[in-house]
Structure 1
Amino acid sequence: MPKETQNSLSEKEKNELLIILEKQGKAKWFKRWKEHMAFPNNINPLSKEKNEQEKTLRYLLLRVLINQQAKFEKVREMSLKISEEFTDVLLFEPYKVPESELFKVFKNVAGEKGSLLYRVGKLGGIKPISLFTYRFKAYEGFIKWLNETKQTFFDLIVNQLLNEKAFTLFEFLNMHPILEAGWVGNDPKACRMFVNWVIFLLNEIWKKEVSKMEDTLMIVDGHVGKVFCRSGLLEEVLYEKNRPYIIQASKMRPWIEKIVSNSRRVPFYVDNGAFYLFEDGFCTDLNPNCQSCPINKLCKKYIKWTAYQKWEGTKC
């Protein structure tokens, strides 16, 4: 795998930049979290009632499973439509949802071939509806396991966090003998995202002293990794051999985690802050808007590094 060394920011500059990312990420997340999680009308994430909190956690688990390799706008629509169609049955007895009705909702949202939800050409011949089905079945099987073992998802999560930390919860969910069938890869970003969402809800919304925000995980999708590469937070960059200069974000996650950990910033908010630079139209793959970017004064502007699109020699 190709690797390139570049001049990085000083330690002082790194800390200043991470503070900006954390501050921006926290402020914008507090404004957008309900939109990102995409709650249907039958779920109230603000409720302090345990049954509502249980429903929230189960819904979000399905939400992140469907989210993998998908177009996020359609994921939100799909999650809402399924929940509104099947209501509490989806959350407590999903094995009672008729496949014919489930697939009908899928096609209404994702199109006849499912290409509106999942990118058909990048799935190696796997049909989008097959991806959706095995992820739904992993969720269905996990909920059935909870019912058979007479556990609530809320108590299971709280016990994991009280006894250990966020990464232990991540490992439990990632390696669960039923749920693992629904994740993509050995270190799924979707599972990391779910853990972060849970810790956020417990701390900031439900006010449960279970785990600290400092214990959250870096997700590091391509756009987050791109910010760390372009800005000079990273001294070394790994990228694809056949498609320079598309970065290998997941391979650099340990380096990024170490930088954030050493700075004592909140990983979830730093991750959000970096992602929002893309979402808000600043650090796009091509033709980035560097002049208006919140980190413009500190960023090294190594803009050849991209997340998913091949660099074409564009400038800020």
Structure 2
Amino acid sequence: MYFVELILVILMSIIMIICVLISVAFLTLMERKVLGYIQIRKGPNKLGFMGILQPFSDAIKLFSKEQIFPIISNYLIYFLCPIINLFLSLFLWLVLPFLTGLYYFNLGMLFLLCCMSMGVYTIMVAGWSSNSNYSLLGGLRAVAQTISYEVSMALVLMSFMLLVGSYSFFDFYLYQKYVYMMFLTFFLMLIWMVIMLAETNRTPFDFAEGESELVSGFNVEYSSGGFALLFLAEYSSILFMSGLFSIIFLSSNLISLFFFFKLTFISFFFIWVRGTLPRYRYDKLMYLAWKIFLSLSLNYLIFYLGLKMFYFSLLV
């Protein structure tokens, strides 16, 4: 019986990964179409019906190109980093509360923080192993950026953990039976939205890929499949952060139709920001992360801790 359950879990995991990768393909199409209409043009509309086959042609083009690598690079690490990066971004999907019996994580929040912290090493080592000054600078900037906002991200998650009283994201869904978390923690939601953009290296916080001064940053030496894997990892992270936002603030479970509407809207928010905002200045991000977000998230954590202690004192 246990063996059959294990086989079913493995099959469902493979189906989930395939669905995520197909969703990433069509998210790129959605982004190109939305950016096209923002800039008063059409976007992809030739291949198939309204450009619906464009993601598949892009995938064929990327994976069939010639693989080029620098001769003086650290060959094995250089090739492994994109694979590990994609693996970690797909691994994050395990923490979401699947009500179909796939997974249930009691310590999902801690697992999330561990995987997100590991992701920065792949970017740093990818920049270093290319043995290029431009890619090394991009990797170092990504490390500095990640450290600066992940402290605030951990404190924000700890505030939610104090409110809900659990590390499991399934309990977040149960906690919001009567009122959405976005109404209880509106300012923390705004902080989390900015942290989402920074976590996924998206505009206006795409400093690891600043074309003007870094020539595409840490991935400048990657081409063909290596670049495609880094690209897939970034966009799967966008979808994951959109789903996580829906669960934490909008009380979603993964078998309801409304979850997909919410996820699509948050993904649209990522694209909308990219189409309307210019790139932020690097020192301003550091000021925002260390001077504003850190103090705000710490104050909210102390406030919710005091609220929880006051509640328990009333019970006693």
TM-score by length of 1: 0.29
Q: Which has the higher helix share?
A: 2
